[in-house]
Amino acid sequence: MSHPFDRNDEQWALAWLDNNLSVTDAQIGNLRLLLEALTVENERQNLIAKGTVPFAWTRHIVDSAQLLTHVPRETSTTWLDMGTGAGFPGLVCAALAPNVSFTLVEQRPLRTEWLERARDVMRLGNVEILTQNVSALTDRNFDVISARAFAPLPRLLNLSAAFSTKATAWVLPKGRSATQELQELKGWRHFFHVEQSVTDPQSGIIIGNLLGRT
């Protein structure tokens, strides 16, 4: 498949979803509902950059959905998404993984109001939405932890390491800073590496397991 921005955005995205995640028609319908609601809400509050709207299927849907290809689906039943914002990757992954329980944490009330409305429109019964700072989250462990454009890696780990075990799968889209952030990480034992994003050849996803502090 060619680079995503070389062709019709939605067509490429739907082909990628079908080839890599075997999505159902109902799931695609849910993603359409999400984007329709997002387009309307984006006029009220700046959920996504307006320049990304024409490429929303690639820039936001596939960019989120690709995380599922790096998660052990058979052993992942709980997922923490930090700083969910407009619903990426949390709502997208929840729509495509109905057997996983998602906890979306977002401290901005306007954003969580939007997340609740979007969840209800999509009829997602596997999504819990919390309006709070991650540091206030009750201690519990998750099988998967994700965060998209949330915080620099050291701060992100400081805030959320308590919610992981050595088996927790971390999937952290970090854009073009992924390799540098990982190279500069100090004070942690881990099995992290960088995978190239399918939506941007210059962007990376930090993936792996966190073992603890050194």
User: pTM of the predicted model, to two decimals?
Assistant: 0.94
Domain containing 150 equals: 4-213
Q: Can you read off the two tokens belonging to residue 115? A: 């997340």
* Total tally of structural domains belonging to the chain: 1
Long-range Cβ contacts of 114-118 (<8 Å, 24+ apart): 114/41, 114/45, 114/47, 114/86, 114/87, 115/84, 115/87, 115/90, 115/91, 117/37, 117/41, 118/34, 118/37, 118/38, 118/87, 118/91
Percent of the chain topping pLDDT 70: 97
Task: Compute the mean pLDDT over every residue in the chain, rounded to the nearest whole number.
Answer: 94
Lowest mean pLDDT among 56-60, 71-75, 116-120, 129-133: 71-75
Q: State pLDDT tens for residues 36-84.
A: 999 999 999 999 999 899 999 999 999 999 999 999 988 899 999 999 9
Q: Residue 186 sits in a domain of what CATH number?
A: 3.40.50.150
Tracing tokens 């009220």 back to the chain, one arrives at 44
Is 161's pLDDT higher than 80? yes
The predicted pLDDT at position 4 comes to 47
The predicted pLDDT at position 149 comes to 84
Is 6's pLDDT higher than 70? no
The predicted pLDDT at position 8 comes to 83
3 pLDDT band, cuts 50/70/90, is very low
The predicted pLDDT at position 73 comes to 86
